[in-house]
Structure 1
Amino acid sequence: MLIMRYYLLLIVLLLYCIILTLLHSYITKISKRSEYKLDNSPTEKGKHVIKNGETELNIKTRDDIKKRLEQTETDSRIRIKYNEGKILNTKNKQRSNKYDFKINSGSFQNISGVFILSAFYDGRTTPNLVRVITLEEKTENRQLLCWFKKESFLFLSNAERYKMSENHGRTFEGRINSCPVPTWLLVAPKVVFISVGITNFKATSFLKLDLISLAKENKQRNFGICIPPIFGSIPMSKLIQYFELTKILGASHFHLYIQNASSSIHFTLNHYAKLNLVSFTQWELPSTVVGDSIWYHGQLLAIQDCLYRNMAQFKYLVFLDLDEFIIPRKTYNWTDMIVSIKSKTKNADQFIGFSFKSAFFDPWQIPDPSQQLSYFQYLERSKTLSNIRTKVMVEADKVFEMGIHHVSKTISDKSTIIQVNPNIAIIQHYRSCVTEYENTMKCDPKVRDTMILKYRKQLQDYYKHRLKEIFKQFKNY
């Protein structure tokens, strides 16, 4: 009996040794396959290089991550492509575009709960940065990571999160994420791969984004107009008047964000787009972002996107709604107005833009019967000017973040904005007077203001010509 117990104990010990040997062999095999560590070279804050025992500075991409990146580069679900007026949707099925001009997609791409709108290569700072504009729940703080691929090498950069200044405490908020670009990447990257919350360098989902460069174009135009999301009904005649009068003032191009609009509005935009005067982004918020969960249709996100998307092309960007005009009081156009303001301003080079007070021109007033065009019929305004509902004209390449009515943050702390004297120019805002958030604002008394009539003859001629051209195009459509 004792001998039997001895043999049983011996068998158990042998089985235990065999199991330990097999387990050790398996662990050794796995550790060799995933032996990665963080290296501090190059020693730039927020940057890490994955190493697997090789001596090269730039270490090869691990197979599982490489496979994911290769899938990302060819996966049609992550990109929307445009070609000759045809739109390829996120399932790679072609559908026709009724309007034969290029539009940008305002669709947000979701990766692990972070909705990504657009990405830009920013060479204004050292080190250079990739800026990624995102929409996220305010309670979430997911880490966004930028991956830069060069041949078979992969470089990781942690994004620094910045919450936009006017999210107004809503459930969803806009953010600007900034990823340092490795200084040893001698050529500016054209694309970036995005992941969220990756740990231990395990393979995860990647999103490939094309980067829009912020480098100034050789031939910049003077004034670009950014118009936030449009929704509801807009009379075609007013839209034409808006474009033509703003062109007279100095506008070179308009970038609009369209949430929903009638077919006549789309047709009008089509006409101006053929003249290279208009481009627009189809604005579509994620399905989970509804009602009051975001501030005013995501206006702040559209403003940042327009700022970064257009700053390379224009010396100045002007942020206006479709019922607002910056009307100079002592000059005829914006170019002459700026020359006049700068000539009377000390240290004018330190100023990067202009802020204008606004007056309300109530469209419910009795129209002037002697005038034909809408904006010439409303000649009474609030005597008191709004100091809150201001709008700005800025040298866009000197701005980091735009607010709705002001510049929220500049690239340089030394930069500032000129508060334009109302005797020089004001915003003529064609809407009912409001006093919300502004105790000093008074809607009465009213005063008669005929300053806009100096554009009457030119605008009437331009309007008639444009209307004729649009109807000719419509007839042949």
Structure 2
Amino acid sequence: FRFFVYSAYVERRTVVAVRIIAATKTRGADSAIRENWNLKFSASYVLCLLADSGVKPHETVGASVAVLASDKLNSLPTNLLIVQDTEPKPGIEDNLHICVKPFHFSFNRFDWLVEWFEINRLLGASHFYMYNQSLSSSVECLLDDYRKQGLITLLSWQLPILSKVEIRTEGQFAAFNDCLYRSMSRTGWLLVIDVDEVVFPRRERTLPALLTSLRASYQPRSKAPSAFLFRNAFFYLKWEDDPEANTPLLTSRKTRRWSTPHSLKNRSKYALRPRDAVELGNHFVWELAPGSSSVGVNTDRALLHHYRINCEFGGLTCLQVPSTIDRTAHWWKDELMERVGVQHKRLEAAGCFQKVVDQ
């Protein structure tokens, strides 16, 4: 029997409890997170109910909690977790943070990751939550520099369950939902994407401006959705470079995409108000708090650009799908090129480029 716990948070909305992020066998788990692909193990929740305990939610913040698989009162806990608060702090309404799934396979896309960070910062992101299963030394150096700037929370992610055989990709659903509760007190908006994806608005310069505009279109404001889903379009990296690109940036060079984006909930990604969400999936929100809703965003307002290296099922047949040129990313290219250059100088001074050569 294997049961692993990672973090603990105060829950005040659907139930008064301490919510623990865990992973265990899918069959028999009381609160298995729904997106588990029918594999043997699943991310799950453990709810430590407070209703009859005499303990108020705010009194649990900073306390320790453990899960014991024993009915013996003298059993010693081996998995103590510090309970973290989820009450939103003042002044966070316009913040946008980003959550990504765990890095694995010694992730080493150094140049692209710099560009990805900087385009997302241009688009309004102010903090990133990342989980490290394995990184190349150069990317580890890169992330350490961003961490020192206060831009990322980098968490160790060593789950002793076999990825893609026993549990879905590095237990990513546990990471997504840890990210949800970890960010809840810190940001008004959370964007859940992968590091080969960027959400580009079509009218606004930033994503917070887009999200504010989308919510403002609902009257009364109390009816405004709490989550917005963005349709996905593949920009295959094996398609030709754009002859109009005058920078080496990937987002400038790779402008050919699928003519017809995927339908909603099929490879879509989303931005949400963390305080209104209960359970996250990969491509949509599984559960929102009572009274909250999610909607899709029209592609004339925003689109998820998915810069994919390989065809989904191998081979090269995907390159034959109907495609079109989309230069939306060029709107940011000059400022992005400048920011990438500044960051490269920082990373060179930190010795990160030497690690790229050595790896």
Q: TM over 0.5, yes or no? A: yes
Partner Cα distance (1:125, 1:435) in 2: 38
Task: Tell me by how many angstroms 1:375 deviates.
Answer: 1.6
Alpha carbons of 1:197 and 1:322: their partners in 2 closer, same or farther (altered >3 Å)?
closer
Matched, 1:136 2:24: yes
CA contact (8 A) 1:434 1:443 kept: no
Q: Which amino acid aligns with 2:307?
A: Y
Deviation at 1:335, TM superposition (A): 2.3
User: Is residue 2:79 matched to residue 1:204?
Assistant: no
Structure 1 residue 348: Cα displacement: 4.5
* Structure 1 residue 386 corresponds to structure 2 residue 258: no
Conserved 8 A contact 1:193-1:209 = yes
Q: Deviations over 1:228-284 (max 9, x none)?
A: 111234332111111110000010101111211111101111111111011111211
Match for residue 184 of structure 2 among 311, 319, 338: 311
Q: For the residues of structure 2 that align with 1:450 and 1:195, how far apart are their CA atoms?
A: 51
Does the 8 A contact of 2:115 with 2:340 survive in 1?
yes
Change (3 A) 1:169 1:460: same
The aligned residue for residue 251 of structure 1 is 125
SS in 1 for 2:305: strand
Deviation of the 1:474 alpha carbon:
2.4
Q: Deviations over 1:286-310 (max 9, x none)?
A: 1x53551111121111101111111
**Consecutive unaligned residues in structure 1, runs of 5 or more:** 1-111, 142-160
- Counting matched residue pairs gives 339
Aligned with residue 184 of structure 1, among 46, 54, 57: 54
Tell me, yes or no, if the aligned pair for 1:172 and 1:289 is still in contact at 8 Å: no
> Are the aligned partners of 2:19 and 2:48 in contact in 1 as well (CA < 8 Å)?
yes
Contact 1:115 1:136 in 2 (8 A): yes
Query: Does residue 342 of structure 2 align to residue 462 of structure 1?
Result: no
**Partner SS, residue 250 of structure 1:** coil
CA contact (8 A) 1:435 1:442 kept: no
Once residues 275 and 194 of structure 1 are traced to their aligned partners in structure 2, the CA distance between those partners, rounded to angstroms, is 33
Aligned equivalent of 2:357: none
For residues 265 and 185 of structure 1, do their structure 2 counterparts lie closer, same or farther at Cα, with a shift above 3 Å needed? Answer: same
1:359 Cα deviation after fit: 0.7
2:255 and 2:286 map into 1 onto residues whose CA distance is 33
Secondary structure of 1:168 counterpart: coil
- Rate the CA distance shift 1:198–1:469 in 2: closer, same or farther, 3 A: closer
Q: Which structure ranks higher in relative contact order (CA pairs < 8 Å, sequence separation ≥ 6)?
A: 2
CA distance in 2, matches of 1:163, 1:332: 39
Q: Give CA-to-partner distance per residue, 1:63-84, whole Å, 9 cap, x none.
A: xxxxxxxxxxxxxxxxxxxxxx
* SS, match of residue 301 in structure 1: helix
User: Relative to 1, partners in 2 of residues 1:382 and 1:137: Cα closer, same or farther, differing over 3 Å?
Assistant: same
1:205 Cα shift? 3.3
1:355 is displaced (CA, Å) by 0.5
Question: What SS class does the counterpart of residue 431 from structure 1 fall into?
Answer: coil
* Alignment RMSD: 2.4
What amino acid maps onto 1:135 in structure 2? A
Q: Secondary structure at the match of 1:376?
A: helix
- The answer for the alignment partner of 1:217 in structure 2 is 89
Q: What SS is found at the alignment partner of 2:153?
A: strand
| Cα shift at 1:346 | 4.1
Aligned pairs for 1:53-452 within 5 A: 113-125=2-14, 128-141=16-29, 161-181=30-50, 182=52, 184-186=54-56, 188-189=59-60, 190-199=62-71, 202-206=73-77, 207-220=79-92, 222-232=95-105, 233-286=107-160, 288-350=161-223, 351-369=225-243, 370-372=245-247, 373-387=249-263, 388-412=266-290, 414-431=291-308, 444-452=321-329
User: Offset at 1:443?
Assistant: 6.5
Structure with bigger strand share is 1
Identify if the C-alpha distance between structure 1 residues 138 and 239 changes in structure 2 by more than 3 Å, giving closer, same or farther.
same
Instruction: Summarize deviations over 1:92-148 as a string: whole Å, max 9, x none.
Output: xxxxxxxxxxxxxxxxxxxx732111111223355x21001111122455xxxxxxx
Q: 8 Å contact 2:100–2:195 — kept in the other structure?
A: yes
Q: Which amino acid aligns with 1:211?
A: V
Give the TM-score, by structure 2 length.
0.87
TM-score (norm 1): 0.67
Q: Percent of pairs identical after alignment? A: 24
**2:168 aligned partner, one-letter code:** W
Distance in 1 separating the partners of 2:218 and 2:155: 37
Give 1 or 2 for the bigger CA radius of gyration. 1
Q: Counterparts of 2:215 and 2:177 in 1: how far apart (Å)?
A: 27
Structure 1 ranges of 4+ moved more than 4 A: 432-436
Please tell me whether the aligned partners of residues 389 and 405 of structure 1 are also in contact (alpha carbons under 8 angstroms). yes
